[in-house]
């Protein structure tokens, strides 16, 4: 799985807005870290994300990209264990114990 890593930190994508989540609606770990999506968020080109997701992941995954409009990047130190918390579509990044969740 590709990750965007800079200065010992990994970019983690999440959608804090209410309504539609990002990972919580797609459940594809790759979309948490995808370097091309990170680049689009940094360039404020969120409207291009749904087409990129369809191109890269196609029919392999069922996806809903409504959360792309509100994507944010959380930079976590490499090796940090975390999970994406969600309430009513609003996501957050929660740091976990060493044996739980995803690894940045």
Structure tokens at 2: 């590709």
Residue 60 has φ and ψ, to the nearest 5°, of -60, -35
Q: Show Cβ contacts of residue 18 under 8 Å, excluding neighbours closer than 6 positions.
A: 88, 89, 90
The pTM (predicted TM-score) of the whole model is 0.88
Tell me the per-residue pLDDT of 46-93, one tens digit each, with 9 for 90 and over: 999 989 988 888 765 566 787 889 999 999 999 999 999 998 889 999
Give the residue with greater pLDDT, 99 vs 88. Answer: 88
User: What is the bridge-based pairing of β-strands 72-77 and 90-95?
Assistant: unpaired
């Amino acid at each position: 799985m590709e990750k965007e890593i800079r200065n010992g930190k990994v970019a983690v994508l999440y959608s804090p807005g209410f309504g539609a989540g990002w990972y919580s609606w797609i459940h594809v770990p790759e979309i948490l870290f995808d370097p091309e999506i990170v680049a689009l968020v940094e360039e404020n080109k969120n409207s291009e994300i749904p087409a990129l997701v369809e191109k890269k992941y196609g029919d392999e995954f069922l996806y809903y990209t409504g959360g792309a409009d509100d994507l944010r990047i959380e930079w976590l130190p490499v090796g940090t264990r975390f999970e994406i918390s969600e309430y009513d579509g609003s996501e957050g990044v929660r740091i976990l114990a060493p044996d739980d969740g995803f690894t940045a």
